[in-house]
Structure 1
Amino acid sequence: MRLYSPNLDVLQALRGSNIELMLGVPNDDLENIATHPAGAMHGCKCDVRFRYIAVGRALQSPSLPLKALSSKNIDQFLILFYRISSETNPIALKLLMEVLWRLWYQKSVGPTAGDFGTSVENATTFNNNLIQDVKSGTPRKPENPIETNIFVMFDEGNKDPEREKHWGLYSPNKQPKYSVIFN
């Protein structure tokens, strides 16, 4: 399950469940996390199975100083997050390095419509190549597929701007937009 930002009610509802969570840290919270990592974890000390932390989203050029500040200090937040998660669920995160080395590429390819250079063909090619690449593992461990995730299942017609409506594998009417080969 993915939350795009912390929601204490949802975190409380997930306590003790076997649902693994990817918790997003919104751009608006990056400065606070980078400068006060302990304060950022307030309220997250609960028995939730965190799988990933997704830090920020689509940083724009005006936030370049913030990017530098965040990348310099975000490790303190991740270490604190690991400690708190380990206290409540020691097997949820086995090794800090395991978490830090997992790369999460959000929106690596463009949507299928709504912007320059976007097309169903480009998204099809990218996602099918991505699946083949992650199945082949890393150069050091080719026998271990890399865990990955496709951004969103369905297009979301209520989003703005236009390009944000077209990230799904399926149209809102539940029809596939293109073929993805998983095997």
Structure 2
Amino acid sequence: MAGIANRFVSAMILLGLLMMVSLDSSVAQTGVCYGRLGNQLPSPSQVVSLYNRNNIRRMRIYDPHQPTLQALGGSNIELILGVPNTDLQRLASNQANANTWVQNNVRNYPNVRFRYIAVGNEVSPLRQDTSQYVNFVLPALRNIYNAISAAGLGNRIRVSTAVETGLLGTSYPPANGAFRSDVNGYLSPIIRFLASTGAPLLANIYPYFSYIGNPRDINLQYALFTSNGIVVPGGVTYQNLFYAILDAMYAAVERSGGQNVQIVVSESGWPSAGSSVATVENSRLYNTNLIRRARDGTPRRPGRAIETYIFAMFDENQKNPEIERNFGIFRASGQPKYPISFN
């Protein structure tokens, strides 16, 4: 009887592990970015309740906001925690600063399900507002990674950085994707570091901005996931622009030494006001189709669900330029702008 019981217990443990692996690898569950640059937004505890009521199981925040971290405790919502760009130099300067940051913002919250630490957001040598941080990203990455590892959390929390698709020099056809030559010196060491630590690259992907930058050559339906698709050189069919941009990023990452580096789409969305194609209906079409299409994988990564985070939970009326104030999918009241399901 004891042998049968032991085998039964072992079988149940194995089944539980398989279920956990299945749940974790099925990353089609789309998360939502929670920014706070707006007036009259709900409190962090109300925000966490709103996530739970709508079955949103993943969140991205952009700084270690203590009330938000407190509200997330015990919620089982998985979190991307951001290191603000303004903190990069201090964390890059010595290991002790990174250790303190991890202690204060990660280890002090044992009931929060940290998934990734995003060390910097959209730092680029091409942008005047972020170029001053370029030299600090990789050393800050290393120091935060070392601090996470020393805390015994290296198997649970991956350390990465978030980049924008403006770093691509070639994006069409997607198989020819490559980073600009003037950013390779910055990006390639970061990608090799991610490859060595088993972390994904976080990428902010916005077909909206690609479309408004080239409406003559990009079909709006292609950007909104509602077209029949196009055949690109090489004979590959792309149903939507999101897949094409993501695959161009994959090709560029592979060319930079990241053959096994996965990409997590850390932001994507469509504004509901601010331009002729920024409407509530187009925002609804984009985000509801994004949730559905993220389950399928791209032509370059077929059958592999895409871990994706919609930008954003709420409109943020303190952001600039004006178009960036209108990406919210919920109103401050907690009511959705339009029907959307995360089930």
Q: Is the TM-score greater than 0.5?
A: yes
Residue 123 of structure 1: how far off its partner (Å): 2.6
Asked if 1:32 is matched to 2:133, the reply is: no
Give deviations 1:67-111, integer Å, cap 9, x for gaps: 5314443441353244145x1x465248941455342433x3453
Asked if 1:131 is matched to 2:291, the reply is: yes
Separation of aligned partners in 1, 2:68 and 2:337:
31
More strand by share: 2
Separation of aligned partners in 2, 1:164 and 1:34:
30
TM-score (norm 1): 0.67
- What is the aligned partner in structure 2 of residue 92 from structure 1? 156
1:4 to 26, 51, 62: 62
- What is the aligned partner in structure 2 of residue 118 from structure 1? 278
Structure of greater relative contact order (alpha carbons < 8 Å, 6+ residues apart): 2
Separation of aligned partners in 1, 2:269 and 2:84:
20
Tell me: CA distance 1:105–1:37, structure 2 relative to 1, closer, same or farther (3 Å). farther
Aligned pairs, number:
179
Amino acid corresponding to residue 146 of structure 2 in structure 1 = L
Unaligned runs of 5+ in 1: none
- What is the aligned partner in structure 1 of residue 120 from structure 2? 56
Amino acid corresponding to residue 89 of structure 2 in structure 1 = E
Separation of aligned partners in 1, 2:311 and 2:144:
22
Whether the 8 Å contact between 2:269 and 2:310 is mirrored in structure 1 is no
- What is the aligned partner in structure 2 of residue 83 from structure 1? 149
Separation of aligned partners in 2, 1:171 and 1:16:
25
Asked if 1:105 is matched to 2:266, the reply is: yes
Unaligned runs of 5+ in 2: 1-58, 159-195, 202-261
Tell me: CA distance 1:172–1:35, structure 2 relative to 1, closer, same or farther (3 Å). same
Residue 169 of structure 1: how far off its partner (Å): 1.1
Tell me: CA distance 1:128–1:78, structure 2 relative to 1, closer, same or farther (3 Å). farther
Asked if 1:66 is matched to 2:66, the reply is: no
Tell me: CA distance 1:136–1:70, structure 2 relative to 1, closer, same or farther (3 Å). farther
TM-score (norm 2): 0.41
Residue 136 of structure 1: how far off its partner (Å): 1.0
Separation of aligned partners in 2, 1:15 and 1:160:
28
Range that drifts further, 4-13 or 97-106? 4-13
RMSD, aligned α-carbons: 3.9
Tell me: CA distance 1:24–1:116, structure 2 relative to 1, closer, same or farther (3 Å). farther
Tell me: CA distance 1:152–1:83, structure 2 relative to 1, closer, same or farther (3 Å). same
